[in-house]
Homo-oligomer: A and B are copies of this chain.
Amino acid sequence: MSTTNRQILLASRPTGEPGTDNFKLVSTPVPTVADGQVLVRNHYLSLDPYMRGRMNEGKSYATPQPLGEVMIGGTVGEVVESRNAHFAVGDKVVGMGGWQEYQLVDANQRGVLQKVDTTHVPLSAYLGAVGMPGVTGWYGLVKIIDPKPGETVVVSAASGAVGGAVGQLAKVRGARAVGIAGGADKCRYVVEELGFDACIDYKQHGDVKSLSAALKGECPDGIDGYFENVGGMILDAVMHRANPFSRVAMCGMIAGYNGEPIPMSAPQLILVNRMKIEGFIVSEHMAVWPEALKELGTLVATGKLKYRESVAQGLDSAPEAFLGLLKGRNFGKQLVKLI
């Protein structure tokens, strides 16, 4: 076991687009384990769009990431030292270990560290399809969109960890799943590997009219449910094809993360089509996690829920990988392998 813990701190807040200079890599001694505590060697770090919001000082749904502290982030790893009766060396665990190699946890705090079973589900999946992204997709689809068999569900960022789960869960429920993704490779993957009915490459469409026409082609019966990860032009185009009584689960608006204006051009469609639009944050709905994780875990273990991972090697690659994620350069769930 190393005696050094490498960490990445938030060095400064971005103005507009973030850069690698907003982050700082430091080395500190691996901390000593006190009574009740557990030391975890983090194996994978999850990179997620929500982190961009935390880098800002402004009002958002969450406390800003403090400057000079370890960037927050979900991790999976292995217990390497334990002075807590509930955890043993060798236990596989999921938690919020942050952008660092080792994590010291006061494991008596309920819910801070969860043991996971890697018999049928790979460890890294607990950061993706069977973790926060999977439950995010599950919540928006099941609790907000609530698709009926034969309805059409559209999801943006469809090749990502959240979007991929949304479409596959929609298919399980007998709905038609149409993805929106950037580039032919991602679209092919969404249809051929994830089993969506269709996928539209938004990069082929320069304006709302063009994208809206493409949606009409792939959604001949209109759109009954939309899972929003992007916002801007994509939301406008979807709204022009929305059916009466359609539902929009608003999960992310990555198009506006750097402060770009992303107006909704025709909110009167909410009225015309008697739509319901609902924003949510999955961490505020912990009561549904067991039900969601049970379905997601079973589907992954039985090969019915597929996903792809984009794995960057080593902690020092995290900032570049994160910036790439914000630009859609990742393909599937973005992870950093820390070991």
Please report A residues at the B interface, Cβ cutoff 8 Å: 59-61, 231, 235, 244, 250-253, 256, 261-268, 270-281, 284
Contacts and interface: CB of A to CB of B under 8 A. Distances in A.
10 contacts: A61-B272, A235-B267, A250-B270, A250-B271, A253-B271, A262-B268, A263-B266, A270-B278, A276-B278, A277-B278
A235 to B, nearest CB: 7
B271 A252 contact: yes
7 A-B pairs with least C-beta separation:
A271-B279, A263-B263, A264-B267, A264-B264, A270-B279, A277-B277, A253-B268
A107 to B, nearest CB: 30
Given A266-B263, A267-B262, A268-B253, A273 B235 contact: no
Contacts of A251: 271
Given A251-B271, A256-B268, 4 more contacts: A61-B274, A264-B264, A270-B279, A274-B284
A22 to B, nearest CB: 21
A267 B280 contact: no
Contacts of A279: 270-276
B61 A231 contact: no
Given A61-B244, A263-B263, A231 B268 contact: yes
Contacts of A253: 267-268, 271
Contacts of A256: 268
